[in-house]
Structure 1
């Protein structure tokens, strides 16, 4: 049965103080938050699919950090190799066109790496988009941008999961790098949840948020049973199941009253 597959992508970056000071020596008005002084220290991808009846299937959950691979170049190489191996699958980001993609492009230029097909600029491109920026889709033709954390809270995602969303500093211990890996992987799951909610709003046939979210969370936990957020994710899944049961019970009562 036909299905749509996405690669939810998230990266974690760190300010490079040497680059910042070099920029400052050239331009004293150089902004600290300039994209050019950011470097990639971790990345993650979560694969998920939706078939024509709204059923969810989860695939690979992959992540790479400097701690495991040595440096920025190695992290970017691993990410790009993964994306090339899934070249027919579109990449999904939140605000990626403004941040993730430019920093990855700068990293590619710095290290002499070729971008994967999903991230190559293709003026006049026809056919399916290889990169979907959910932040841009939410903005539409308006002027208002929403932060992913705001969107998730509006969707009813538990505060404990959303509070773990903001960026983190570069770790200084193995335990810190483990937390960073958990962080970037969780961000991919949260992005996938937001995409599902957006598709439901667009009228995707057969797709129901609670059931789809349960599938995403279950797939994530199966692949990362040691993840720090598993207890909270499990509670969230139970909450979603209760919502489905409540809706079913209300529906049954309405039908009985109408007969």
Structure 2
């Protein structure tokens, strides 16, 4: 069954769908918020403009998705974005870490953008039409985010010894969080049966690792992934050799996000009803 708009969603699906959309939106919103801090202090003027543009895109993508949550919950995008408690946010912990240095930002951006590309491609066949339409708009801008993050990963990996060292240090810090990107969504089984989520998160994680493992091997970058071939003519299986840091999809967040939440919701808490 296809759902043409929020009014078509049955009551038992409304909360799972709302939490699913929040997960997608919060990833974009929080990462965009942190990356916006490079405005005025990026390594070059060109990157200053690029970071500002990318951050603005991500927050715009979040707004598109918050609008769908608002339609389901009878609220407004502003209320969805700012009037929630800490535990009601659903982003993965990868996006909520402080921006760190430039290598940290570039490493995180690459890990997130490559995973997001796999996720967005899978959602083009979702049975929730407003999501499919939103993804169509989002993908057009994400192409450039992907190109930008790939260019910087290669530039740092093939740059000076210091650049390579900073990149590898950042990746070692980020891998546990990155492996939490495809932490299953709340009520994922319900979303799969309804076709709202067309592909299980575990399958998407394998697709993502299949895309990036060859890149990391070529660039000699930290890769806590073991590749196995379960049988002849079967696809390779990618098995992490470290423990993924999860919990974000269930409202468990880092101290970094606590600080960010206090900052970004300050106006909303001081001036209820303010718009963004």
Same fold, TM-score > 0.5, yes or no? no
Instruction: Indicate the structure with greater strand content.
Output: 1
Larger radius of gyration between Structure 1 and Structure 2: 1
Instruction: Indicate the structure with greater helix content.
Output: 2
